[in-house]
Copies of this chain bind each other. A is one copy, B any other.
Amino acid sequence: MNASEGQIHPTALVAVGARLGRNVSIGAQSIVHPGVEIGDGTVIQEHCSIGLPGVDAGSPLVIGPGSLIRTHSVIYGGSVLGERLETGHHVVIREKTRAGINLRVGNFCDIEGDCAIGDYSRFHGYAHVGKGSHIGNFVWLFSLTTATNDPLPPSLLNVPVVIEDGAVVCVGVTLMPGVVIGKGAFVSAGSCVRESIPSGAVVAGLDGHVVNHVSQLLHLPSGLRHPWMRHYRKGYPPEAVARLEKLEKEILENRFTLKTENE
């Protein structure tokens, strides 16, 4: 049953048309559909459905090397997902999603398709990424983030959100259609963001107003302070450090000029 040894479990169902790299593991009861291409060393755990045919059935699914897809995950055909992808359990990723390297997606997340996601982004549990969302590099979406896209529900309008590099969206936040979360901005827990947010801004409250610059966010007992890439580099591979340092500088640039409601 253990899928960690580069083996295809006898109860796994792998389509003839699927292309598996070296040392790929497919766990018990998992299903790999035709048109799936899985990179070297990737582990698919148990009970997964990989390459499920969607609206554009037949277009291939690419999962990069070194990835880990946890149990009960569902990934549709028609996406290209970069190396070292990690999904939690019971994840859904719909078609036409393009993700960079080392995306991590928590348990029960739902990525609704047509999304573009950069490198090294991290989504926690129950994050819901609406169709067409644009998400940058090093972005954090904490639990129960909802990125909407319909400005007059229900309608056929589609106005997805944009989340720029290094932004942090805390638990229980709703992002209304079309908002742009600027580079390195920080959205506090429970906020509802109705307007775009400048780079480096901290927003809070149900109306998501700007209260501060992230460089003012600190944790007194430890002395740690934002931007978070100052103190949180563990969990990122070494090759990402130079990009994190560059991003930190860019976020700090406007720290003396940002307009907040405290002024």
Mark contacts of A158-186 with chain B using CB atoms, 8 A cut-off: 1 yes-contact digit, 0 otherwise: 00000000001011101010000000000
Given known A-B contacts A47-B72, A144-B144, A192-B190, A154 and B89 have beta carbons under 8 A apart: no
Residues of A within 8 A of B (CB-CB), count: 63
Whether B92 contacts A89 by the Cβ 8 Å rule is: yes
Interface segment, one of A61-69, A95-103, A218-226, A248-256 = A218-226
How far, in whole Å, are A52 and B47 apart by their CA atoms in the complex?
Answer: 12
A11-49 interface (Cβ within 8 A of B): 11, 13, 15, 28-29, 31, 33, 45-47, 49
Given known A-B contacts A28-B13, A29-B31, A170 and B153 have beta carbons under 8 A apart: yes
Shortest CB–CB separation between residue A147 and chain B, in angstroms? 10
How far, in whole Å, are A62 and B54 apart by their CA atoms in the complex?
Answer: 26
Give the oligomeric copy count. 3
How far, in whole Å, are A126 and B130 apart by their CA atoms in the complex?
Answer: 13
Q: Does A199 contact B (CB under 8 A)?
A: no
Residues in B neighbouring A1, C-beta threshold 8 A: 13, 15, 31, 33
Residues in B neighbouring A154, C-beta threshold 8 A: 122, 140, 168, 228, 232
Shortest CB–CB separation between residue A90 and chain B, in angstroms? 5
A122-154 interface (Cβ within 8 A of B): 122, 125-126, 128, 140, 142-144, 146, 148, 151-154
Shortest CB–CB separation between residue A19 and chain B, in angstroms? 16
Mark A residues whose CB is within 8 Å of B.
1-2, 4, 11, 13, 15, 28-29, 31, 33, 45-47, 49, 52-53, 71-72, 74, 88-90, 92, 107-108, 110, 122, 125-126, 128, 140, 142-144, 146, 148, 151-157, 168, 170-172, 174, 176, 189-190, 192, 206, 217-219, 222, 224, 226, 228, 231-232, 234
